[in-house]
Amino acid sequence: MPSEESNEIRKLQQRLVKFTDQLEQIYTILESDPENSECLSLAKDLVEVIRLTKESIESKQRQKSDTCVVHQQEDPVKDSRPDIIDPGLEQAPTINILIGTDCEAKHQDTWYPVRVENVQEDTIQIQFFGFHTKDQINLTELRDISPVEHPITKQDVQIGMRCLARYYVDHQFYECVIAEETSLGVSVVFTGYGNTEEVPLSYLCEVKDEKVNQHEAGQDMQKLESAPQAGFLVGNEAESKVAQSSDSTVCKPIKIPDHLQILPTDTEAEKERKRKRIRALKNLNRQKRLDNERNVKQQGWKAFQHKAKQKRVRGTSGALSIRGESIFASPETVDGRVGVVGSGLGMTMFPDTRKKCVITIGSSRQVIRVLFDTDSLYTWIPTQPSIYYSHFYKSELSATSHPLNRSFVSLFEDTMISGRLIKDILHLTPDVYIRSQTIGQVDQVPLADGVIPYDGVVGFGFDVLELGDAQTPMHALKQSNLLDENVFAFCLGPNGGELRIGEIDPTCYKPPIVFVPVYLSKQWSVRLTGIYVNDKLVVRDAYAYFASGENYISGPDDQVEKLAEQVGAYKFPFTDFYWLRCSKKVNLSFEIGGQLFTFTPDDYIRKVGPICIFMFRHISKMTGQDAWLFGDIFLRKVYTIFKYGNRNESEIGFALAT
């Protein structure tokens, strides 16, 4: 009877035959299409896997258990096709798998930087850079990190040092600044993107000839126009299968093309012509960089380094701690918050270009910036200065402030906050106010994400038992008979937005409006008949509730996974977020009240650097197994009208936004 080790060797040999057959098929395709980049990349990976599989078999036979040094072997599949496959495919780099070695591990078709922590006979324990996650993988799932030009050693590292760093998604180099040294390597902040990544030292290289001038040689105009701009960077936007190429080892900023160099032999007319072309080239580079910074500043990779945390339970206030792109297109930022001024007034502009609502509280009209959240019960404001917010409330400055001698507890940014309740005048606009609104005073808001673009929250949810005799602002406005209609609606257009209270704005939607009864009396929720990918029904008979403090559309794990699979989205490792190729052209439709609302890819993806983010995510702390949460992504596409009625009489209206 064969031993267990013999069975393992036989399985490896069977895999080797399978890999070799696959490589032969790739070679056949390349004979007719030798420039096929995807096949070239696949062939390169297969050559490496074949080599490592053979070495794994040899390793088994040698009975190695402590450490395993894999020496370079001759290409296992050599034939008469040297002019079809890039020379880099013929030879693979030596991989030294020793404890403490930094290398790359393959996970879901992407190579991530890792450190080897333990080596056993058939498995290797690794730790991922930036994710603080460990895993065990096979030998065939490891490869060496390609060397870079002008590498940076540990002795060279200085905090604040500018350099170029390889990014694991596309394996191209981007300009960055070293923020700190970590236990594994260094933490860098990518210039223009604002995202922070932990990378090994072997991912860094020096910035040579940082300033672009007419004497520098470099890439031609076509490559410059196709390159994603974030400071200076190298490499084209990656929308195909990520594979390490020879370009990923090139480590230099964008340069002026050779043919535009000003030579001593040039005539004055020729020199002037070149100067104009150089100025135009620099202006193009600058404009692309500015456009990119406007779209992706302060967002990107940081949102996906954090392990996904769920933030909502029924009857609590909150907002995503991981920020996405703003719901407003001009200017676009990454806060994803609905911050608007009520009763049809436009939103207030601030120097940081982020939009939020300014209200006033008390007889002294103390200014507070707030988030209107349809999923929050409480209206709360800070009472102490902090680095997290700009404004705070002082009850002693308001003659109309009255303490209630009651405390409250709520959930915000994954953190429980608490304080004391008071009553005071709440001015939503100069003309719309509530004389005695219950407000929560919070001494400390223990957030973890730094400065937020608002100070407090105005809860536009329903009254529930947790509030006692306190009322939400919408309930108070209804009882005061200040409104022509007990409705409010968010109008989030491409050039700004507003919250209208007491009326519907006919310029914000295309008829008809479909009104649907509220499904749960404690939440702004409706029955969700189905979600379709193109014409295929993927989710059936669920319900959705609406949160203007959210950015994503969130749903149960299994249903989000089905949607992601249908649209061709891939999950970021160790998170609840997905990415997809920006070229995908798949429509999504939501059926509510017998009406289909169709979203094109432009409506449900957000471009972040060289990739596109699928704006759906998992959420598990929800009421009911089939509950969905619709945030700004939905509210921006569909004009949503919240009609506040008596018990069991509230409705939500839906119409396509203009």
Rounded to an integer, the average pLDDT of 315-329 is: 29
User: Which domains are seen in the chain, by residue range?
Assistant: 4-143 (2.30.30.140), 154-296 (2.30.30.140), 357-657 (2.40.70.10)
The DSSP letter of residue 64 is -
**pLDDT per position as a tens digit, 109-165:** 788 999 998 887 778 889 989 876 788 888 888 888 988 888 898 888 988 899 999
Position 318 confidence tier, pLDDT thresholds 50, 70, 90: very low
Our measurement of the distance from residue 443's CA atom to the centroid of its chain's CA atoms, rounded to an integer in Å, reads 31
pLDDT of residue 453: 67
**pLDDT per position as a tens digit, 509-555:** 999 999 999 988 778 999 999 999 998 999 999 999 998 888 899 99
**pLDDT per position as a tens digit, 555-604:** 998 899 999 999 999 888 777 789 988 888 899 999 999 999 999 999 99
Please give the angle made by the CA atoms of 172, 584 and 332, to the nearest 5 degrees.
70
Whether the CB-CB separation of 212 and 254 falls below 8 Å is answered with yes
pLDDT of residue 440: 92
Q: Examine the pLDDT at 278 and tell me if it is beyond 60.
A: yes
Q: Which two tokens stand for residue 102?
A: 């930094």
pTM above 0.85, yes or no: no
Rounded to an integer, the average pLDDT of 344-362 is: 53
pLDDT of residue 472: 87
pLDDT of residue 572: 81
pLDDT of residue 282: 62
- 508 φ/ψ angles, rounded to the nearest 5 degrees: -95, -5
pLDDT of residue 449: 47
Q: Examine the pLDDT at 12 and tell me if it is beyond 60.
A: yes
pLDDT of residue 233: 31
Q: Examine the pLDDT at 352 and tell me if it is beyond 90.
A: no
Can you tell me the distance from the alpha carbon of 50 to that of 66, in angstroms, rounded to the nearest whole number?
23
Can you tell me the distance from the alpha carbon of 533 to that of 529, in angstroms, rounded to the nearest whole number?
14
Q: Examine the pLDDT at 180 and tell me if it is beyond 70.
A: yes
Rounded to an integer, the average pLDDT of 82-97 is: 45
Position 241 confidence tier, pLDDT thresholds 50, 70, 90: very low
Buried b (16+ CB within 10 A) or exposed e, 233-262: bbbeebeeebbbbeebbbbbbbbbbeebeb
* Partner residues linked to 248 by β-bridges: none
pLDDT of residue 45: 78
Average pLDDT, the chain: 73
Closest CA to 339 of 632, 652, 131: 632
pLDDT of residue 387: 65
**Looking at per-residue confidence, does 258 or 613 come out higher?**
613
Please state, in angstroms and as integers, the Cα–Cα distance from residue 513 to each residue in 38, 631, 651, 654, following that order. 47, 19, 12, 5
Q: Where are the beta strands (DSSP E) in 228-277?
A: 233-234
**Looking at per-residue confidence, does 232 or 103 come out higher?**
103
Position 494 confidence tier, pLDDT thresholds 50, 70, 90: low
Q: Examine the pLDDT at 86 and tell me if it is beyond 70.
A: no
Buried b (16+ CB within 10 A) or exposed e, 633-647: bbbbbbbbbbbbeee
